[in-house]
Amino acid sequence: MQRIYNFNAGPATLPLPVLEEVQKELLDFAGTGMSILEISHRSPAFEKVLQEAKADIKELLGIGEDYEVLFMAGGGSLQFSCVPLNFLAAGQVGAYSITGSFSDKALQEAQKVGTTAVVFSSKAQHYNRVPRPSEIKLPEQCAYLHITGNNTIEGTEYFQYPETGSVPLIADMSSDILSRPFDVQKFSLIYAGVQKNIGPAGTVVVIAKKDFLQGRPKNLPTMLNYEVMLDNDSLYNTPPVYAIYIVGKVAKWLKAQGGLAAMEKRNRAKAALVYAALDAHPEFYRAYADKDSRSIMNVTFGLPTKELEAEFVAQGKAANLGGLKGHRSVGGIRASIYNAMPLAGCQQLADLMEAFWRQHK
């Protein structure tokens, strides 16, 4: 068996110690005589998994009793609909900051539900940056401001969040959740498909102020109603047991690494290696993102020709660096360097970039 450095954007690399634990206990979970794939979601063994996962995520984020952690299904894409269905009432305006393809999809789902306003868009500049806080002006009767914390496809990330005063701030953090500390108190609701930084495909973690989730419209489809999920502690129906179990293990791994401050240090060091290689040859490697919006999770860039880009991906693959091809909508190269990507993987990528430049300059 040879494990590769996996730069895929999601599903993405997971910590090897987590995978080894999962493998070890696959036939008999916690002495139950059953696999985690087989145990009842109402069993004490799973209840422990669920409560520990929630508690560990709250501990990592430094949040207390006023916030709840929920696990839902359907990915970020279903959350795009849940947000306006739950929070965009008639007479209100849902405000959206459009910084990438997924922001745009979130907006489109809201447009089916009610009135929306685009308060920032870098679409005409190929989503090259996120807004500065001062650029955001909220409309009257604003139900919420929705932002995308990290733009996976384009490689940009917010490091300063907008100030919204009494207007609820909602964020899709699918691709940077638990990668660094931030002030959760600014947010009324955060959602994140877990398949990038903290788990396998199959669940979405929702972190929200409890009182924000209360009083939802009664006629919503039950499975899209945040209040029902809150009242049932994510167990209204059978949840994605396995995905929650792995998120729980990743959360424990993050704690063992030193928590989010340690992860930020490591993630910034990883990103610095790759960006340094990029900036060393700006006439050859063309960065997609403006410098002050550069994501520390997804590094995106182009080479002089499509042929060179294909050759770069191929050389990466040959050197056990997988998943470097950019998203089909933007092309080029994308290196996703989430929590579980080791520094050594980023170093090898930086080395490849230098060597490739020497070959083709």
DSSP annotation of 273 reads H
| Size of interface with its own copies, in residues (CB under 8 A) | 66
Of positions 94, 155, 162, 200, contacts its own copies by CB under 8 A? 200
Work out whether 261 is an interface residue with its own copies (CB under 8 A): no
Provide the token pair at 205.
Answer: 């973690």
Work out whether 19 is an interface residue with its own copies (CB under 8 A): yes
Quick one: 84 or 168, whose CB is closer to its own copies?
Answer: 84
Work out whether 332 is an interface residue with its own copies (CB under 8 A): no
Polymer length of the chain: 361
Quick one: 155 or 193, whose CB is closer to its own copies?
Answer: 193
Neighbours of 217 (CB within 10 A): 11
At its nearest, how many Å lie between its own copies and the CB of residue 49? 12
Quick one: 27 or 276, whose CB is closer to its own copies?
Answer: 27
Q: Are strands 333-336 and 298-302 parallel, antiparallel or unpaired?
A: antiparallel
Provide the token pair at 235.
Answer: 């167990």
At its nearest, how many Å lie between its own copies and the CB of residue 7? 10
Of positions 322, 331, 347, 357, contacts its own copies by CB under 8 A? 322
Of positions 45, 117, 118, 201, contacts its own copies by CB under 8 A? 201
HSE-CB of 251 using CA atoms within 13 angstroms: 23
User: Which segment (30-38, 122-130, 264-272, 279-287) binds its own copies by CB under 8 A?
Assistant: 30-38
CA distance 142 to 124: 25
Q: Tell me the residue type at 54.
A: K
User: Which segment (10-18, 52-60, 286-294, 295-303) binds its own copies by CB under 8 A?
Assistant: 10-18
Q: Tell me the residue type at 324.
A: L
CA distance 1 to 71: 33
HSE-CB of 110 using CA atoms within 13 angstroms: 31
User: Which segment (37-45, 53-61, 130-138, 184-192) binds its own copies by CB under 8 A?
Assistant: 37-45
